[in-house]
Amino acid sequence: MSTPPASASESTNAAKPASSNEVRSEALRRRTFAVISHPDAGKSTLTEALALHAKVISEAGAVHGKAGRKSTVSDWMEMEKARGISVSSTALQFNYASSEAPKSVDGVDTVNVINLVDTPGHSDFSEDTYRVLTAVDAAVMLIDAAKGLEPQTLKLFQVCRHRGIPVITVINKWDRPGQTPLELLDEIDERIGLTPTPLFWPVGIAGDFRGLLRRGLDDHAGEAVEYIKFTRTAGGAKIAPEEHLTPEVALEREGDTWAEAAEESELLSASGQDHDQELFLAGQTSPVIFASAMLNFGVRQILDTLVALAPPPRARLAIDDTPREVDDPFSAVVFKVQAGMDTAHRDRLAFMRVVSGVFERGMVVTHAQTGKPFATKYALTVFGRERTTVENAYPGDVVGLVNATALAPGHTLFVDKKVEFPPIPSFAPEHFAILRAESASKYKQFRKAVDQLDSEGVVQILRNDIRGDASPVMAAVGPMQFEVVAARMKAEYNVDPKIEPLGYALARRTDAESTTELNRQRGVEVFERSDGVLLALVSDKWRLQYIQKELPDLTLEPLVAATD
């Protein structure tokens, strides 16, 4: 992207800067969160349902049934539509006026700005999800009512715990047969050490979802405050109508089913499972909501809970451990780079999370990693694949910068007072494959595609002198990442790639002094990653143990895991 010869500091004179009070007020309206789950827990369906309840779409994208099924707004890649899974993170921004929020002095509903970052559910794309979790203030942990806590959910929860991200739990698919609610709460408590504190309790067993019992808070903790009764709509494409009934009317309508739900709510209070905001923000408890994203039951309650309880943007620690307050001069961190979202233009979109100050389109900022000025003329907010030019943004907002070729995940942008945020660590790869172009005539396009996908972080690209640029090695957390590379090279660059699995299972960081000797060893090959890091690929753990025993002076360091 072209850059004018102005200094970054001069951009602050382009317009009257926003006051500290204005920035803090805008930040307080923002809720920036991600949805994390195991594959098939209903994450993209929930994302769509949240957008429906915010009235930014008129019909949910998931029209259920074999005929006429649509893909969700957040799943824009052809591979995602074909498989019905998310393989890339996307950002959705919309306004939402909560019915539970207090009105302003002039009687107008308080409007919150929701920045929802949809993430891949499949474990092969854990690294993409981790990048997203560096950019949010809260997470919604989605659990399948029948399957309970699954491996990918557990892994992502640990990342949230490590980063101090408070978690709201949604038990989804309550319209289908599943476990009992108390069994699911016990599993959360026992397996991840998080005390579940339900705000809404299901009326009706799994598979017979009639509505929700809203539990009281504070002085009314444990009380059955009201009954929210849902009515199904055709295919779950529209917002489900709600009736708000008193406990007395609920007992008349539902009889023993309501009485059982009310009794279980009292039992939760006796067990100390009532909401405490301080414990929630400290990561010790998790508010729980039962829902059916497919039927749009309980979705409004999820949004209202996020607005009421999830934290707004807060100060972020820089690499030197100094806090960057939300009303400090503008700063942002890039957490995702994505190309190919617009088939009409082969542009490259860098998603940045605004950390402090006000972003104004056209401002000249400083790129912390290079120290160079960077122009922001082409800035967008994104709703799935649709884009809208953004003129300004506040802490918590996610903005896409178009054709920002110098930016990569983990980079910092700022004005005025210098700041650099900690880099985003790469996951240790476990799968490796050689990448070649089927046709030599497409070599130029092949090189462009490899560089693009490498800069986005779709895979790590490794090279050495022996294999050359024509046969780089891809390193990935999971093999499905290779399928994404092949699909995107074909769709975006008209290149048919040839992918050959490589017989290595481990990667270790090494140095130039160790390279010559390591390359002599059987089952070992040294490569250079795009960021200059030298990686030794090893065939298996036994070969690694042998080398470490026989040649202890060689450098073979484990790559740092994201939760270390």
Tell me the binding residues for GTP. Answer: 118-122
Around Cβ 398, how many Cβ atoms within 10 Å? 25
Query: How many helices and strands in the chain, by DSSP H and E?
Result: 14, 31
User: What is the Cα–Cα distance from 512 to 530, expressed in whole angstroms?
Assistant: 15
Q: Which two tokens stand for residue 564?
A: 């270390």
DSSP 457-491: TSSEEEE-TTT-TTS-EEEESSTHHHHHHHHHHHH
Q: Which two tokens stand for residue 530?
A: 């795009």
* Best CA proximity match to 98, nearest among 107, 108, 111: 111
| Residue type present at position 269 | S
Encode burial over 265-283: b for 16+ CB neighbours within 10 A, e otherwise: beebeeeebbbbeeebeeb
Encode burial over 216-236: b for 16+ CB neighbours within 10 A, e otherwise: bbeeebbbbebbbbbeeeebb
Strands 359-360 and 392-393: antiparallel
Query: C-alpha angle 452/564/165, rounded to 5°?
Result: 85
Encode burial over 313-326: b for 16+ CB neighbours within 10 A, e otherwise: beebebeeeeebbb
Collapse the DSSP code of 341 into the 3-class scheme (helix H, G, I; strand E, B; otherwise coil) and give the result.
coil
* Best CA proximity match to 216, nearest among 204, 199, 201: 199
Half-sphere exposure of 475 (CA within 13 A, CB side): 24
Query: C-alpha angle 470/471/475, rounded to 5°?
Result: 135
Strands 285-290 and 242-245: unpaired
List Cα–Cα distances, 416 to 12, 187, 373, 404, in angstroms: 8, 49, 12, 21
Beta bridge partners of 91: 117
DSSP 110-170: PEEEEEEEE---SGGGHHHHHHHHTS-SEEEEEEETTTBS-HHHHHHHHHHHHHT--EEEE
* Best CA proximity match to 421, nearest among 534, 344, 317: 317
Q: Which two tokens stand for residue 23?
A: 């920035």
- At 465, give phi and psi (nearest 5°): -65, -30
